[in-house]
Structure 1
């Protein structure tokens, strides 16, 4: 529940801030009449994410065991790829996100009625599909769908409230620190999803492992080798006698770091290689975005900015919402 809550919170807050930028910009332009079209696009994006989740969930019941494992493993790999791409995309493009969104709104207002619907749809659909794939993969691996889904719903609800409070200037939140830490958490979660995807593909027979004919068997006991003797197609370790596979500790470790009481060598290697490659690249991106740059001093989302000295005019609320929801921060998100 904790893992899916944090995923729902991070992904939902990204989407909420994007929608906040769009709404604030339309309000600043005096085009609140166009807001229903924007919200229609957002609603379609949410409906698409829910539909994809429903197809994955209920469609799997019609498949054989091997087909279910193959589908689950393939979609988990896709989820890992999307999450990894999104983390680094936000580092690179986050600082220009606000300008890109506002440019899209300007072009949409000059176009047809459906153009603004498309802007709202595209802005949220990417986050929605990524969240659906990742949550579905995690629910499949955890096996406790009600709690996992409850955590995701609570996280998304919290993200909506936080996004609204930030846009209204009611909440101060260091977005740079938030997205940096949640990005690091997502990398670890993605490594765990990758390890479980390897497990699914091995069970489906798509990859060699302890479930197939290529498994290294101990001739004395007939069991698959564990440890060094089982490398590379056997079990890397088996601590299920110490950590019960269905227990609370096992669930907590799997949800946070992707640890399972019994893991194959291919799972361990995939987890290790992913973390060893992605973490240094992520840290390098964080450090690069922390270098001083003109106009990049404000990394904290806060309330409406104070008026300059000698100017008693109040700051318009739409402009404040735009500024607070889109302030650049060290991780590159807006």
Structure 2
């Protein structure tokens, strides 16, 4: 449940930031106010695309065999892991230019009275965040075996969105303790930990399918110290990929994941920032 609430909270804040930037900018001039209906139309269209993706995933999973389900769940966890890493790396490289990029794109559409272009810009931004949320949630729920707990997951998602609204309001107020930069630094770390957990859950399924060799199984037994059945051990299992009895192959893949992530983040920080890229990522300022 905690993973569901966290993902909805984090992605909702990003979407609110994108919409909030454009909303404030459009309201700043009489000409821009004419685009407000197109802004909300883009929000609605983006949400519909995200819902369509969710329905497509549910439909795809419903007709798969038991073995197909295992493959599908492993691939969804891998896809969610890859999306998280891509999003964090992009944010590290482009985040500070988001406001200028969004306002520049919107200005070009308004200048030519191309309101459909504005709608498309917002639709892509919202659909990107919505589709990421769908993939993250789907991969997380499947990997943690929570598929039968529909009502608690729905409540966790609603709670995450409500907290996102409160978070966005607090961040808009500003302050020395809660700032956008600190918010995204903290959630960047949490997202990368969660991506690592999704990767480990995918290796669990690949091992069960006899696709991934275990090499040594287990390499240690730390259940006496931290058991994944509950408490801190379960939190670390859900958010960081901790296993009380991991296979050697899992450990090597997890270490390789963090090596690749640190390399990509260092390279993204060193490269000069450009203004090209996706429109749905929040500023890190």
Aligned-pair distance for 1:190?
A: 0.5
Could you tell me which residue of structure 2 aligns to residue 190 of structure 1? 195
Q: 1:151 aligns with which of 134, 152, 156?
A: 156
Partner residue, 2:28: 28
Q: Against the structure 1 CA distance between its residues 76 and 28, is the aligned structure 2 distance closer, same or farther, given a 3 Å change threshold?
A: same
Q: Which runs of 5+ in 2 are unaligned?
A: 272-281
CA RMSD of aligned residues (A): 2.8
1:161 equivalent among 163, 166, 169: 166
The change in CA–CA distance for 1:66 and 1:112 in structure 2 (over 3 A counts) is same
SS of 2:35's equivalent in the other structure is helix
- Summarize deviations over 1:34-58 as a string: whole Å, max 9, x none: 2121111112212222332233235
Correspondence for 2:274: none
- SS of 1:263's equivalent? coil
The offset of 1:87, in angstroms, is: 0.7
1:259 corresponding residue in structure 2: 242
Question: Which structure 1 residue ranges, 5 or more long, are not aligned?
Answer: 211-229, 290-330
For residues 1-334 of structure 1, what are the structure 2 equivalents within 5 Å? 1-30=1-30, 31-109=32-110, 110-145=112-147, 146=149, 147-164=152-169, 166-167=171-172, 169=173, 172=175, 173-205=178-210, 207-209=211-213, 230-231=215-216, 234-237=217-220, 246-279=229-262, 281-282=264-265, 333-334=284-285
1:41/1:121 contact within 8 Å kept? yes
Question: Is residue 218–residue 247 contact of structure 2 (8 Å, CA) maintained in 1?
Answer: yes
Measure, in 2, the Cα distance between the counterparts of 1:246 and 1:254: 9
- Post-superposition offset of 1:249: 4.9
1:23 CA drift (Å):
0.3
Which protein shows a greater Rg? 1
Q: Which moved more, 1:2-11 or 1:135-144?
A: 2-11
Query: Per-residue displacement from partner, 1:125-179 (whole Å, max 9, x unpaired)?
Result: 2222122211211111222344445333322222133324544x4x543111111
Residues 199 and 264 in structure 1, CA contact (< 8 A), matched pair in contact too = no
What does the per-residue CA deviation read over 1:281-326, in whole Å, with 9 as the maximum and x for residues that have no partner?
Answer: 547867x79xxxxxxxxxxxxxxxxxxxxxxxxxxxxxxxxxxxxx
SS at match of 2:284: coil
TM-score by length of 2: 0.82
What's the TM-score once normalised by structure 1's chain length?
A: 0.71
Deviations 1:220-269 (A, max 9, x none): xxxxxxxxxx43xx443455687666545553221121123443322221
Matched residues, number: 268
Q: CA 1:144/1:280 → structure 2, altered by over 3 Å: closer, same or farther?
A: same
- Residue 112 and residue 282 in structure 1: after superposition, are their counterparts in 2 closer, same or farther (change >3 A)? closer
Cα pair distance change 1:34/1:94, threshold 3 Å: same
Q: CA deviation at 1:113?
A: 3.7
Secondary structure (helix, strand or coil) at the match of 2:246 reads strand
Cα contact 1:139–1:149 (8 A) shared by 2: no
